[in-house]
A and B are shown apart, each in its own frame.
Chain A
């Protein structure tokens, strides 16, 4: 490993960078330096601010405070084009491909003006660039037809086109198989030997420890310091990444009656970005889904709820779910609490009352007319039961806090006696601490009534406290399962960052092995 000393010049420096999105403070006075020839890893949990930091470094996002220094130039605001001209290349985690255009056109748009051929020679030129990186991709194929792995490699090629002095790689291996990961790492080493400063973001700690010279840790948008990679272990990194002393009062797990029957059974379900997945959830059980963002967790939940297409079978209480539209699962009593509350589950301008009862209006009326008194009584009861903090039930939900909005969407399963399964996607995202525990309590209460629950969360602490069992997803598949007696934040984080998961991946050929 090339290990440039403190003598090599700093090529990228972020100084006291802060950034807020609405009420969420994504970064708080973070400072990071990257030297020429160094591989500088940036680690942190989901939502700790890694991508935001890279976005600011590349000029895609403007910091609220602080400055970015690329080479010799110090700037508060740079455009992505300017930062490229200053010698910065970036591979975005969510890519920068225009999917309807061809590979060649995408490369052409990414190339700086002095390296661009004439328009007519674009295809041949693109083929040469792809050849340099041993990429077997047709330059005339639309980018949208590439596999995820090809898209990821193409993103790296685009970042390297301008021969940058600083290279930012945001989770560049999430879609890659082991061979491609090795190739990419060889390329990263080669560039660092050539004097390029590389910032490498990944949640996979073994990968990070294997490649990095120095490691900076982010937690909740705050820098936890920069360390020599040689002095760090997975354990010490995980401790820095989580390290929250917050004592949280999770609801008591109830004694599960032995032999409670399986309520939700999924077998061989596969769809866009996930599968095949087998999973059984018993009545009264809360199963957590953990994993780094973008490994198919969301797609899996949504497919179960009929909001995305999938093949394979899912049965609820022995009856097969018709998942061709959200209607089938809803009728069978499967309720999805979407992570995108504002656009997918709530009507922001309507009142708490209207949002709470919109799915059960028929039950509250007679002869097609609503019985307002009955409706109000129902909603008043729910507001009290879930401790929704609202001035009146006629208040539009958009004026409520995130936590109280989530509680309003939680009122829906409480009104229907026939709910069998709750699929909760990030149930406490953007939710204040006090409301969190109301939500945990509500989910546990439904579980006690016999509902089977799946919770997808990027917060390991939440999964450890709330769930009876957690499965870990990586690259669309379940790679680890943590039983109740082993549950803990550290155990989950370790599984996500790969120490155990990767061990299991290698042993995946023998599926009978239990976790």
Chain B
């Protein structure tokens, strides 16, 4: 097994099963579901969440959070309405696109510095970044205006049959990232830093550099997600979506631990797909979205309980018997 241990593969299996189950259910109940139009639509809708969640997985791997990603995505959309407006087309769009990437890089470096150099807890620090970017978006556009170049939209959403090319690229990216994480020394080092920073430093790893890299990657992926958000809203809208928490939810459903050091990019991608699928399926049944929210909440809790069940069981057992960690330690009872 690629992930080595069963517990690592559990999220992948569970997410795949859920996607198949919900998909099958929708296919049976609704003819409109399994149409290439709807599937194409679904995959495109998944793109922003998938990209930002992959980035979030990096931050979670080193034991951090980045809640600023949603505001960064929106800021990118607003910036795109200036740098990639409907008047520009073709190669003239390239500098405008680079501006978005630069915004992502700058935000990532800013986050990394406040987390790593100023040693602020990442969840609070990135909340500060969130507010700054939110304010900046409103400064640029206080209401939705400024259509985005149709060349950008068409380019980003280009599909072969019903599969967007970009989605294929994201799948390849996630697989490569997992190969890196579980098949190379630097990937192992990244996980080690998230699991135990003191030991990692003693082992000679550049722990600071790893954490900085993770936060920069996270913001960079959020700015890429911003491109796809721009292609979706198609106008410079300062409204911020719920991508911060959803990206954390996707990473965790995909197997990431909030305490760091565990996670899977493929798992995250599957979870992002599942969350989008759920949103996509509900309207087909003419059910209010409130149910979707409640169901997703319950599913997240159930999945977390399932992932942690071995540890939960162990904890329950010890608290009953009051034995603690004794069995594992007895073997080393001192001689003499």
Instruction: Enumerate chain A interface residues (CB-CB to B < 8 A).
Output: 58, 60, 79-81, 84, 90, 92, 95-101, 105, 108-110, 116, 119-120, 145, 147-150, 158, 175, 177-179, 270-273, 308-311, 323-324, 474-477, 505-506, 508
Contacts and interface: CB of A to CB of B under 8 A. Distances in A.
Q: How extensive is the interface on chain B, given as a class?
A: 35 or more
- List the 3 shortest-distance A-B pairs measured between CB atoms, nearest first: A309-B324, A475-B334, A81-B204
Interface centre among A109, A119, A148, A149 (most CB of B within 10 A): A109
Nearest to B184: A119
A271 B204 contact: no
Given A98-B195, A119-B183, A80 B324 contact: no
B322 A99 contact: no
A96 B318 contact: no
A431 B125 CA distance: 35
Interface stretch (B42-50, B243-251, B325-333): B325-333
B329 A148 contact: yes
B185 A108 contact: yes
A101 B188 contact: yes
A273 B323 CA distance: 13
A79 B204 contact: yes
A351 B195 CA distance: 37
Given A109-B189, A109-B205, A177 B335 contact: yes
A70 to B, nearest CB: 14
Interface in B188-225: 188-189, 191-192, 195-196, 198-206
A149 B322 contact: no
Nearest to B335: A177
Given A101-B188, A101-B195, A270 B326 contact: yes
B263 interface: no
B329 A273 contact: yes
A276 B204 CA distance: 38
B195 A272 contact: no
Interface in B301-336: 318-319, 322-326, 328-329, 331-336
Contact of B201 (A80, A97, A309): A80
Nearest to B208: A79
Contact of B202 (A96, A120, A149, A177): A96
B261 interface: yes
Contact of B188 (A105, A120, A179, A273): A105
A457 to B, nearest CB: 22
Contacts of A92: 202
Nearest to B320: A324
Contact of A109 (B192, B318, B328): B192
Given A96-B202, A150-B332, A508-B336, 17 more contacts: A79-B206, A81-B204, A90-B202, A98-B199, A98-B200, A100-B262, A108-B188, A109-B205, A119-B188, A147-B329, A147-B332, A177-B335, A272-B329, A308-B324, A309-B325, A311-B323, A324-B322
A477 B332 CA distance: 13
Contacts of B204: 79-81, 84, 110
B207 to A, nearest CB: 10
Given A79-B204, A84-B204, A272 B188 contact: no
A323 B199 CA distance: 32
Given A108-B185, A175-B332, A178-B335, A100 B261 contact: yes
B123 to A, nearest CB: 20
A98 B183 contact: no
Contacts of B335: 177-179
A80 B203 contact: yes
Contacts of A81: 204-206
Interface centre among B184, B192, B200, B205 (most CB of A within 10 A): B192
A101 B192 contact: yes
B326 A272 contact: yes
Contacts of B334: 175, 177, 474-477
Contacts of A97: 196, 199
A109 B336 contact: no
B331 A98 contact: no
A23 to B, nearest CB: 20
Interface in B55-111: none
Contact of B319 (A80, A90, A145, A324): A324
B261 to A, nearest CB: 6
Contacts of B329: 147-148, 272-273
Given A101-B192, A116-B185, A324-B322, A178 B336 contact: yes
Contacts of A120: 183
Contacts of B336: 177-178, 475, 505-506, 508
Interface centre among B198, B199, B329 (most CB of A within 10 A): B199
A150 to B, nearest CB: 8
Interface string B158-201: 00000000000000000000000001110011011001101111
Nearest to B319: A324
Contact of B323 (A178, A309, A475): A309
A65 to B, nearest CB: 22
Given A116-B185, A149-B332, A101 B326 contact: no
6 contacts: A98-B195, A109-B205, A119-B185, A179-B335, A311-B326, A474-B334
